[in-house]
Chain A
């Protein structure tokens, strides 16, 4: 059963990612795109966690953890860019 459930959830995440990408490409504003990218980061974490469950391995946990950390930092950086231009003042 778990296998089917995984596939199902997987499909949901996949659809989510596609929706994110759609928003990312369509925009219309830059903040919209950043928001989409940030969501994409998080959805990717979901993807990796699912993959880990499917493969019964925790070896990709750190990747997920880092995406969480780094996604945040880069989103903040882009926002800072939009606000101030100079991200390190």
Chain B
């Protein structure tokens, strides 16, 4: 289980680093280094077993439902990468200590760096592909943070965003590929997948899986045509670039190719895609690198090119090529990291990375120059250095394949060309920076870097040399196990040596070196030629395309969400029409089994009034007052319909609600224009008429279909139990306060909330108050007509009496708390109208909020009360008592509930009207209780 500690400790390291803000820079670096050192020690402690051919495992269950576990493995490939990640990581920590200026936050960089390290360690040690993806995406996130470390630099922001977008997109493709792969194989465990190569490759899904996985790998390792994010990621601090673009981030893609080699490689498709991509990247990268004036730009494209080389190697159809690929991974990591760090020093000490300004640095920093030159020579593939070895293996392997059929000879030729270009840009790196005359306008006076800043480079360059000189001794064991891990047991025999005799690869090397030097010597013409080409800025193109997408999106969204309610409602109605209308056509007959009953005069008159009223409202709707009066007719007829069809309670409710609603509408109309302007085009009117009549027909048809059908319902239960179980004879009321009292509780809550909401809406509302009516007539002066004021006083007790009557009888006869509440409210509204709100307020200082809350409280507590008797919420209780003189009287808990309803209704209705009244009251400043 030691294995588990590696990512965990690294993660801890990230946390640890983030807390070093108060420490000195040295301490901060030292504390940060603790965890990687421990990790490295752990890795090394496990290395002997791995080198002996074992694979170590550790696993914790995580989401077993999904087949996702925290599952780790350490095989040769993982070991190799762990060492690279941790080793170079430690050097970077040291280097960054000196690189960062006093203004830059150390803990932040270290924390991000360690987070990134965790992610990388996670990828390379994962034994579950989902877990691998988990860490894969974590590298995207943490590299985003690292690249944007200097966030106030727009280049850094854009570079980070671009990197995240490209690698993020690749990550999504990869996820799709991995899930497909996992589903195909039946497991997300790497072991299983690696052993199912045949199954995978023979599956019809294989091409898709391959393409998706490769998209992930290629975006991450900056393969053409996804390479363009990498140079822009150079806006990061150099330690970050050194780490991300030598040994880690970009190598993650390569690692992925190597990791899935047993499962995915070996097919023609693999070789075509991987090989051609690698080759293209190799050439394109090397070519562009030559023209970069920015040192880091040169290194960036060189990185792209070398990654292309490794990819091409992995794509070549020989096992030795794969070995070479792994070897080059190591070599590239070492020389590229040192070159980046050297560049960092130059940048740090001179203030620029522009090779047109940098000249003759040899004199100012000979030590750094030496180190850089050795590393650059390794990059160019100069013998005795590690770069030479792997490059020669590469040349050799290009000769042994038939990837392009009859055109296969092109590969070694192009490889040589790429080699030459690589020599050329390496030569430029050396000559143009360290020699080539005197520096021009350097921002700083150059001098040698601090001692310890050079140490990491020294170590790496030493490694370059050691590997170059004693490959078999230094890297052979590691390379062997790593190759085993990639190729399986049948890894080929090879031996690493400096000298293989005079052979074709050596010739290619020689040609490359000579050609490279020649190219460099003729650079003037090349630069001129390049300058004459139209320049394509990847960043601009990327930004522009993103911008184009955003602009397009905005256009589309504006087109869809045009802010027109009429459209929104129309869409809603149209959807309704479609879903409700289509099944109607499927019906055989609309009418059901019950026959029609005849139309009597009563119904005919009612219907005629209702329909004429409705149509008249429609026709006169632009004269709002008239429309309002006409709507009252419709409302009145609706309640008549309820009386007609045996629903007295409904009729009462409809009537009372109708009056209050009309009054509210009138209150509203006071603040609104009196006429609706004619705005709709006749086409719009036709459209609206069409859709509304269509819906009307559909709803009417459904209604007709229902009415003509026999019905079986649960209602017999209510009729049967209303008296015996609910203690009342008005079944509707018993349903409301008992059988379905819960609905009623919700309903009065709605009413209460509405009142609160309306209060909110009207608070401090600046209102436009017309001084005259729509025809310009000034308002009548008399506020409170004498007769009305007088009669309304007499009516008040009468109305209260009626509401008491309606309340008390509700349980047994039509009526109840709600209607009673509205009658009471209307009685008070009449007082408001007759005498004004100030008059009322002076006489009744009731806080309506409290009335509402008390009503709700009474209703709720009457329900909760049944808990005391061990019964369910809202269980009703009633009994009959013999009261002297009065006789047998029924008392029911439902009455208490109904009282709650009554109070809520009164409170809510009066709160609404009082809020409105308050708007225009003469003394608005006065504090009002509501």
Check A47–B669 contact: CB distance below 8 A: no
| Docked complex Cα distance between A68 and B613 (Å) | 20
Chain A nearest CB, measured from B645 CB (Å): 11
Interface readout for A57-69 with B: 1 if CB under 8 Å, 0 if not? 0011011011101
By a CB distance below 8 angstroms, the chain B residues around A84 are: 779-780, 783
Instruction: Check A85/B833 contact, CB under 8 A, given A59-B814, A62-B814, A69-B799.
Output: no
Q: Is B478 an interface residue (CB 8 A)?
A: no
The 8 Å CB contact of A74, one of B659, B770, B922, is B659
Q: Which of B444-452, B600-608, B901-909 contacts A (4 or more CB under 8 A)?
A: B600-608
Check B814–A30 contact: CB distance below 8 A: no
Chain B nearest CB, measured from A4 CB (Å): 13
Q: Is B204 an interface residue (CB 8 A)?
A: no
By a CB distance below 8 angstroms, the chain B residues around A18 are: 605, 608-609
By a CB distance below 8 angstroms, the chain A residues around B605 are: 14, 17-18, 47
By a CB distance below 8 angstroms, the chain B residues around A37 are: 629, 632-633
Chain A nearest CB, measured from B650 CB (Å): 10
Chain A interface category by residue count: 35 or more
By a CB distance below 8 angstroms, the chain B residues around A86 are: 667, 670, 769, 920
The 8 Å CB contact of A70, one of B608, B629, B659, B773, is B659
Chain A nearest CB, measured from B68 CB (Å): 66
Check B644–A88 contact: CB distance below 8 A: no
Total contacting residues, chain B, CB less than 8 A: 65
Instruction: Check A33/B826 contact, CB under 8 A, given A7-B601, A17-B609, A85-B773.
Output: no
| Docked complex Cα distance between A22 and B701 (Å) | 30
By a CB distance below 8 angstroms, the chain A residues around B917 are: 88-89
Instruction: Check A83/B655 contact, CB under 8 A, given A48-B643, A88-B836.
Output: no
By a CB distance below 8 angstroms, the chain A residues around B608 are: 18
Q: How many A-B residue pairs have CB under 8 A?
A: 146
The 8 Å CB contact of B830, one of A66, A73, A85, is A73
The 8 Å CB contact of A88, one of B602, B814, B826, B832, is B832
By a CB distance below 8 angstroms, the chain B residues around A81 are: 625, 666, 669-670
Chain A nearest CB, measured from B681 CB (Å): 27
Q: Which residue of B lies closest to A59 (CB)?
A: B648
Chain A nearest CB, measured from B580 CB (Å): 32
Check A87–B663 contact: CB distance below 8 A: yes
Interface readout for B279-305 with A: 1 if CB under 8 Å, 0 if not? 000000000000000000000000000
Chain B nearest CB, measured from A69 CB (Å): 7
Check B630–A24 contact: CB distance below 8 A: yes
By a CB distance below 8 angstroms, the chain B residues around A30 are: 625-626, 629
| Docked complex Cα distance between A60 and B636 (Å) | 14
Q: Is A11 an interface residue (CB 8 A)?
A: yes
Q: Which residue of A lies closest to B830 (CB)?
A: A73
By a CB distance below 8 angstroms, the chain B residues around A25 are: 612, 616, 620, 630
| Docked complex Cα distance between A21 and B461 (Å) | 104
Chain A nearest CB, measured from B304 CB (Å): 77
| Docked complex Cα distance between A21 and B799 (Å) | 29
Known: A60-B643, A81-B669, A89-B920. 13 other contacts (CB 8 A): A17-B609, A18-B608, A24-B630, A37-B633, A66-B655, A66-B656, A69-B826, A73-B829, A76-B830, A77-B663, A81-B625, A84-B779, A89-B783
